[in-house]
Structure 1
Amino acid sequence: MKIVVVSDTHMPRMAKKLPDRLVRDLRDADAILHAGDWTQLAVWEALSAYAPTDGVAGNNDGDRITAKFGHRKILTFGGVRIGIVHGHIGGGRASTETNAFAAFAGERVDAVIFGHSHIPVMKERDGILMFNPGSPTDKRRQKHYSFGIFRIDDGRLRAEHILYTDKK
Protein backbone atom coordinates (compact mmCIF):
# COMPACT_ATOMS: atom_id res chain seq x y z
CA MET A 1 0.00 0.00 0.00
CA LYS A 2 1.27 3.45 -0.93
CA ILE A 3 0.20 6.49 1.12
CA VAL A 4 1.21 9.98 0.02
CA VAL A 5 1.74 12.27 3.03
CA VAL A 6 1.47 16.06 2.70
CA SER A 7 1.07 19.07 4.95
CA ASP A 8 1.08 22.85 4.81
CA THR A 9 -0.11 23.25 1.22
CA HIS A 10 -1.43 26.77 1.98
CA MET A 11 -3.28 26.84 -1.32
CA PRO A 12 -4.05 28.91 -3.30
CA ARG A 13 -1.80 31.53 -1.66
CA MET A 14 1.42 29.50 -2.06
CA ALA A 15 0.47 27.63 -5.24
CA LYS A 16 -2.40 27.73 -7.71
CA LYS A 17 -2.20 24.00 -8.42
CA LEU A 18 -0.70 20.84 -6.99
CA PRO A 19 2.99 20.65 -7.96
CA ASP A 20 3.80 18.33 -10.88
CA ARG A 21 6.32 16.37 -8.76
CA LEU A 22 3.61 15.65 -6.19
CA VAL A 23 1.05 14.72 -8.84
CA ARG A 24 3.40 12.05 -10.22
CA ASP A 25 3.19 10.18 -6.93
CA LEU A 26 -0.50 10.88 -6.38
CA ARG A 27 -1.38 8.98 -9.56
CA ASP A 28 -0.71 5.56 -8.01
CA ALA A 29 -1.47 6.36 -4.37
CA ASP A 30 -3.81 4.10 -2.43
CA ALA A 31 -4.49 6.88 0.10
CA ILE A 32 -3.47 10.47 0.83
CA LEU A 33 -2.99 11.97 4.30
CA HIS A 34 -2.78 15.72 4.93
CA ALA A 35 -1.46 17.08 8.24
CA GLY A 36 -3.21 20.46 8.10
CA ASP A 37 -3.02 23.97 6.71
CA TRP A 38 -4.96 23.06 3.58
CA THR A 39 -6.53 26.59 3.80
CA GLN A 40 -9.35 25.67 1.38
CA LEU A 41 -11.53 22.58 0.92
CA ALA A 42 -10.64 22.79 -2.77
CA VAL A 43 -7.28 21.21 -1.82
CA TRP A 44 -9.11 18.18 -0.40
CA GLU A 45 -11.17 18.00 -3.60
CA ALA A 46 -8.04 18.14 -5.78
CA LEU A 47 -6.27 15.44 -3.76
CA SER A 48 -9.39 13.26 -3.59
CA ALA A 49 -9.43 13.07 -7.38
CA TYR A 50 -6.39 10.75 -7.04
CA ALA A 51 -7.16 8.60 -3.97
CA PRO A 52 -9.18 8.60 -0.76
CA THR A 53 -7.94 11.59 1.24
CA ASP A 54 -8.11 12.28 4.97
CA GLY A 55 -6.30 14.51 7.41
CA VAL A 56 -6.60 17.12 10.12
CA ALA A 57 -7.04 20.87 10.35
CA GLY A 58 -4.14 23.23 11.02
CA ASN A 59 -3.86 26.70 12.51
CA ASN A 60 -4.56 28.38 9.15
CA ASP A 61 -7.69 26.35 8.41
CA GLY A 62 -11.14 27.80 8.97
CA ASP A 63 -14.28 26.41 10.57
CA ARG A 64 -15.37 24.33 7.56
CA ILE A 65 -12.09 22.43 7.38
CA THR A 66 -11.96 22.01 11.16
CA ALA A 67 -15.53 20.68 11.19
CA LYS A 68 -14.74 18.21 8.40
CA PHE A 69 -11.45 16.85 9.76
CA GLY A 70 -10.95 17.84 13.41
CA HIS A 71 -7.50 18.49 14.88
CA ARG A 72 -6.36 14.97 15.71
CA LYS A 73 -7.09 11.40 14.64
CA ILE A 74 -5.75 7.88 14.45
CA LEU A 75 -6.16 5.86 11.26
CA THR A 76 -5.16 2.26 10.59
CA PHE A 77 -3.73 1.03 7.30
CA GLY A 78 -2.58 -2.56 6.87
CA GLY A 79 -2.38 -3.02 10.63
CA VAL A 80 -0.25 0.13 11.12
CA ARG A 81 -1.77 2.75 13.44
CA ILE A 82 -1.00 6.30 12.30
CA GLY A 83 -1.71 9.38 14.39
CA ILE A 84 -2.20 12.63 12.53
CA VAL A 85 -2.04 16.10 14.07
CA HIS A 86 -0.88 19.49 12.81
CA GLY A 87 1.33 20.15 15.85
CA HIS A 88 0.33 23.70 16.69
CA ILE A 89 -1.72 22.84 19.78
CA GLY A 90 0.18 22.04 22.93
CA GLY A 91 2.32 23.22 25.74
CA GLY A 92 3.56 26.78 25.41
CA ARG A 93 7.08 26.87 24.03
CA ALA A 94 7.27 23.16 23.25
CA SER A 95 8.48 22.27 19.78
CA THR A 96 6.04 21.23 17.08
CA GLU A 97 7.40 17.69 17.28
CA THR A 98 6.92 17.58 21.06
CA ASN A 99 3.34 18.86 20.70
CA ALA A 100 2.64 16.20 18.07
CA PHE A 101 4.14 13.44 20.20
CA ALA A 102 2.20 14.57 23.28
CA ALA A 103 -1.09 14.57 21.34
CA PHE A 104 -0.99 10.75 21.35
CA ALA A 105 0.35 10.15 24.87
CA GLY A 106 -1.07 6.96 26.32
CA GLU A 107 -2.33 5.68 22.97
CA ARG A 108 -0.82 3.00 20.79
CA VAL A 109 0.41 4.45 17.50
CA ASP A 110 3.18 3.25 15.23
CA ALA A 111 3.72 6.63 13.59
CA VAL A 112 2.75 10.26 14.11
CA ILE A 113 2.37 12.52 11.09
CA PHE A 114 2.56 16.23 11.83
CA GLY A 115 3.15 19.50 10.01
CA HIS A 116 3.16 23.18 11.05
CA SER A 117 6.93 23.83 10.90
CA HIS A 118 7.34 23.08 7.16
CA ILE A 119 10.54 21.23 8.15
CA PRO A 120 10.86 17.61 7.00
CA VAL A 121 11.41 15.28 9.96
CA MET A 122 11.80 11.51 10.06
CA LYS A 123 13.03 10.00 13.30
CA GLU A 124 12.05 7.55 15.97
CA ARG A 125 10.93 8.72 19.39
CA ASP A 126 10.21 6.08 22.03
CA GLY A 127 9.56 3.51 19.30
CA ILE A 128 7.21 5.78 17.33
CA LEU A 129 8.06 7.13 13.89
CA MET A 130 7.76 10.92 13.99
CA PHE A 131 7.19 12.17 10.44
CA ASN A 132 6.76 15.70 9.13
CA PRO A 133 6.51 15.72 5.33
CA GLY A 134 7.50 19.39 5.07
CA SER A 135 5.54 21.36 2.48
CA PRO A 136 5.07 20.69 -1.24
CA THR A 137 4.33 24.38 -1.91
CA ASP A 138 5.90 26.55 0.82
CA LYS A 139 9.46 25.54 1.70
CA ARG A 140 10.10 28.69 3.75
CA ARG A 141 13.80 28.55 4.68
CA GLN A 142 14.23 24.92 3.60
CA LYS A 143 16.36 24.05 0.60
CA HIS A 144 13.62 21.90 -0.96
CA TYR A 145 9.87 21.53 -1.27
CA SER A 146 8.85 18.15 0.08
CA PHE A 147 6.22 15.54 0.81
CA GLY A 148 6.35 11.98 2.06
CA ILE A 149 5.52 8.47 1.02
CA PHE A 150 4.56 5.68 3.39
CA ARG A 151 4.66 2.13 2.09
CA ILE A 152 2.95 -0.52 4.16
CA ASP A 153 3.54 -4.19 3.40
CA ASP A 154 2.69 -7.09 5.72
CA GLY A 155 2.18 -4.72 8.66
CA ARG A 156 5.54 -3.01 8.12
CA LEU A 157 5.88 0.70 7.52
CA ARG A 158 8.62 2.27 5.40
CA ALA A 159 8.77 6.04 5.07
CA GLU A 160 10.66 8.42 2.81
CA HIS A 161 10.76 12.09 1.90
CA ILE A 162 10.53 13.27 -1.68
CA LEU A 163 12.53 16.48 -2.12
CA TYR A 164 12.43 18.79 -5.15
CA THR A 165 13.32 22.36 -6.09
CA ASP A 166 10.58 23.35 -8.57
CA LYS A 167 6.98 23.54 -7.35
CA LYS A 168 5.50 23.98 -10.85
Structure 2
Amino acid sequence: MRLLLTSDTHLPKRARELPAELLAQAREADAVIHAGDWVDVAALDLLEAHSRRLIGVYGNNDGPDLRARLPEVARAELGGLRFGVVHETGAAQGRERRCAERFPDLDVLVFGHSHIPWDTTAPGGLRLLNPGSPTDRRRQPYCTYMTAVAQDGRLSEVRLHRLPPRR
Protein backbone atom coordinates (compact mmCIF):
# COMPACT_ATOMS: atom_id res chain seq x y z
CA MET A 1 0.00 0.00 0.00
CA ARG A 2 1.54 3.29 -1.16
CA LEU A 3 1.15 6.22 1.21
CA LEU A 4 1.51 9.97 0.82
CA LEU A 5 2.11 11.92 4.04
CA THR A 6 1.65 15.68 4.18
CA SER A 7 0.76 18.42 6.63
CA ASP A 8 0.59 22.16 7.15
CA THR A 9 -0.62 23.14 3.68
CA HIS A 10 -1.87 26.53 4.97
CA LEU A 11 -3.81 27.41 1.80
CA PRO A 12 -4.20 30.11 0.64
CA LYS A 13 -2.11 31.96 3.24
CA ARG A 14 1.29 30.34 2.61
CA ALA A 15 0.71 29.33 -1.02
CA ARG A 16 -2.02 29.87 -3.58
CA GLU A 17 -2.22 26.19 -4.51
CA LEU A 18 -0.91 22.76 -3.67
CA PRO A 19 2.22 21.79 -5.61
CA ALA A 20 1.49 19.79 -8.77
CA GLU A 21 3.98 17.13 -7.64
CA LEU A 22 2.04 16.61 -4.40
CA LEU A 23 -1.27 16.24 -6.26
CA ALA A 24 0.32 13.76 -8.68
CA GLN A 25 1.60 11.71 -5.74
CA ALA A 26 -1.88 11.84 -4.18
CA ARG A 27 -3.41 10.33 -7.31
CA GLU A 28 -0.85 7.48 -7.23
CA ALA A 29 -1.17 6.72 -3.50
CA ASP A 30 -3.51 4.16 -2.03
CA ALA A 31 -3.97 6.46 0.97
CA VAL A 32 -3.15 10.10 1.68
CA ILE A 33 -2.51 11.20 5.26
CA HIS A 34 -2.74 14.91 6.15
CA ALA A 35 -1.75 15.99 9.67
CA GLY A 36 -3.68 19.26 9.84
CA ASP A 37 -3.45 23.00 9.25
CA TRP A 38 -5.31 22.99 5.96
CA VAL A 39 -6.63 26.53 6.75
CA ASP A 40 -9.11 26.49 3.83
CA VAL A 41 -11.87 23.94 3.21
CA ALA A 42 -11.03 24.14 -0.51
CA ALA A 43 -7.67 22.47 0.23
CA LEU A 44 -9.48 19.54 1.88
CA ASP A 45 -11.90 19.27 -1.04
CA LEU A 46 -9.06 19.36 -3.56
CA LEU A 47 -6.98 16.69 -1.83
CA GLU A 48 -10.09 14.56 -1.31
CA ALA A 49 -10.82 14.78 -5.05
CA HIS A 50 -7.30 13.60 -5.89
CA SER A 51 -7.16 10.77 -3.32
CA ARG A 52 -8.45 7.21 -3.27
CA ARG A 53 -8.56 7.40 0.52
CA LEU A 54 -7.88 10.47 2.66
CA ILE A 55 -7.13 10.33 6.37
CA GLY A 56 -6.86 13.77 7.92
CA VAL A 57 -7.14 15.77 11.11
CA TYR A 58 -7.61 19.42 11.91
CA GLY A 59 -4.80 21.62 13.16
CA ASN A 60 -4.57 24.69 15.37
CA ASN A 61 -5.06 27.04 12.38
CA ASP A 62 -8.19 25.26 11.13
CA GLY A 63 -11.54 26.93 11.76
CA PRO A 64 -15.01 25.57 12.49
CA ASP A 65 -15.76 24.41 8.93
CA LEU A 66 -12.72 22.12 8.89
CA ARG A 67 -13.24 21.01 12.49
CA ALA A 68 -16.78 19.97 11.57
CA ARG A 69 -15.41 17.60 8.90
CA LEU A 70 -12.20 16.34 10.52
CA PRO A 71 -11.28 14.79 13.89
CA GLU A 72 -8.53 15.95 16.22
CA VAL A 73 -7.03 12.43 16.12
CA ALA A 74 -7.56 9.90 13.34
CA ARG A 75 -6.75 6.19 13.34
CA ALA A 76 -6.59 3.70 10.50
CA GLU A 77 -5.16 0.29 9.75
CA LEU A 78 -3.04 0.43 6.60
CA GLY A 79 -1.02 -2.47 5.26
CA GLY A 80 -1.32 -4.33 8.55
CA LEU A 81 -0.06 -1.37 10.62
CA ARG A 82 -1.99 0.73 13.13
CA PHE A 83 -1.61 4.39 12.12
CA GLY A 84 -2.57 7.47 14.07
CA VAL A 85 -2.64 11.07 12.89
CA VAL A 86 -2.54 14.17 15.08
CA HIS A 87 -1.46 17.74 14.43
CA GLU A 88 0.51 18.67 17.55
CA THR A 89 2.80 16.54 19.71
CA GLY A 90 4.48 19.25 21.80
CA ALA A 91 8.17 20.09 22.13
CA ALA A 92 10.79 18.02 20.35
CA GLN A 93 12.50 17.12 23.62
CA GLY A 94 10.73 14.11 25.10
CA ARG A 95 8.45 13.66 22.07
CA GLU A 96 9.09 9.93 21.66
CA ARG A 97 8.28 9.13 25.30
CA ARG A 98 5.18 11.35 25.39
CA CYS A 99 3.78 9.94 22.15
CA ALA A 100 4.49 6.33 23.14
CA GLU A 101 2.59 6.94 26.40
CA ARG A 102 -0.31 8.72 24.68
CA PHE A 103 -0.62 6.25 21.80
CA PRO A 104 0.40 2.81 23.12
CA ASP A 105 -1.86 1.05 20.60
CA LEU A 106 -0.20 2.49 17.46
CA ASP A 107 2.64 1.38 15.21
CA VAL A 108 3.03 4.70 13.36
CA LEU A 109 2.09 8.26 14.36
CA VAL A 110 2.00 10.97 11.68
CA PHE A 111 2.05 14.53 13.01
CA GLY A 112 2.63 18.09 11.83
CA HIS A 113 2.64 21.61 13.30
CA SER A 114 6.39 22.36 13.35
CA HIS A 115 6.94 22.21 9.56
CA ILE A 116 10.15 20.34 10.46
CA PRO A 117 10.55 16.85 8.97
CA TRP A 118 10.92 14.17 11.63
CA ASP A 119 11.52 10.43 11.52
CA THR A 120 12.30 8.64 14.77
CA THR A 121 11.30 5.50 16.61
CA ALA A 122 10.28 5.58 20.26
CA PRO A 123 11.32 2.93 22.76
CA GLY A 124 8.75 0.20 22.28
CA GLY A 125 8.69 0.67 18.51
CA LEU A 126 6.29 3.57 17.77
CA ARG A 127 7.48 5.25 14.56
CA LEU A 128 6.99 9.03 14.53
CA LEU A 129 6.82 10.81 11.17
CA ASN A 130 6.40 14.50 10.37
CA PRO A 131 6.41 15.19 6.62
CA GLY A 132 7.12 18.92 7.03
CA SER A 133 5.11 21.28 4.83
CA PRO A 134 4.77 21.30 1.02
CA THR A 135 3.96 25.02 1.01
CA ASP A 136 5.70 26.74 3.95
CA ARG A 137 9.29 25.77 4.68
CA ARG A 138 9.66 28.24 7.56
CA ARG A 139 13.30 27.88 8.64
CA GLN A 140 13.84 24.68 6.65
CA PRO A 141 15.81 24.70 3.40
CA TYR A 142 12.97 23.07 1.41
CA CYS A 143 9.24 22.50 1.39
CA THR A 144 8.68 18.76 1.89
CA TYR A 145 6.33 15.79 2.01
CA MET A 146 6.86 12.05 2.58
CA THR A 147 5.98 8.80 0.86
CA ALA A 148 6.09 5.31 2.32
CA VAL A 149 4.91 1.75 1.75
CA ALA A 150 2.88 -0.14 4.36
CA GLN A 151 2.66 -3.83 3.63
CA ASP A 152 2.41 -7.04 5.65
CA GLY A 153 2.73 -5.15 8.94
CA ARG A 154 5.92 -3.37 7.91
CA LEU A 155 6.67 0.22 6.96
CA SER A 156 9.29 0.57 4.25
CA GLU A 157 10.55 2.97 1.61
CA VAL A 158 9.98 5.99 3.89
CA ARG A 159 11.24 8.89 1.82
CA LEU A 160 11.35 12.63 2.40
CA HIS A 161 10.74 14.54 -0.84
CA ARG A 162 12.10 18.05 -1.32
CA LEU A 163 10.03 20.34 -3.51
CA PRO A 164 11.68 22.86 -5.83
CA PRO A 165 11.39 26.52 -4.78
CA ARG A 166 8.19 28.25 -5.93
CA ARG A 167 8.55 30.96 -8.55
- Taking the TM superposition and a 5 Å limit, the aligned residue runs for 1:37-52 are 37-51=37-51, 52=53
CA RMSD of aligned residues (A): 2.2
1:75 aligns with 76
**Is 2:143 aligned against 1:145?**
yes
Q: C-alpha offsets along residues 26-50 of structure 1, whole Å, 9 cap, x if unaligned?
A: 2211111110000111111111122
2-structure distance, mates of 1:103, 1:62: 28
Runs of 4+ in 1 over 3 A off after TM superposition: 94-97, 99-104
Q: Is there any run of 5+ residues in structure 1 with no aligned partner, and where?
A: none
Q: TM-score scaled by structure 2?
A: 0.88
**Is 2:120 aligned against 1:123?**
yes
Q: C-alpha offsets along residues 41-94 of structure 1, whole Å, 9 cap, x if unaligned?
A: 111111112212121111000112122212112211121111111016x6xxx4
- Taking the TM superposition and a 5 Å limit, the aligned residue runs for 1:18-57 are 18-51=18-51, 52-57=53-58
1-structure distance, mates of 2:64, 2:94: 24
Q: Is there any run of 5+ residues in structure 2 with no aligned partner, and where?
A: none
1:3 CA drift (Å): 1.3
* Alpha-carbon distance change, 106 to 44 in structure 1, aligned in 2, over 3 angstroms: closer
**Is 2:115 aligned against 1:114?**
no
SS at match of 1:107: coil
Question: Which residue, 117, 132, 135 being the options, matches 1:134?
Answer: 132
Identity of aligned residues (%): 38
- Taking the TM superposition and a 5 Å limit, the aligned residue runs for 1:5-24 are 5-24=5-24
2:161 aligns with 162
Between 1:143-152 and 1:23-32, the stretch displaced more is: 23-32
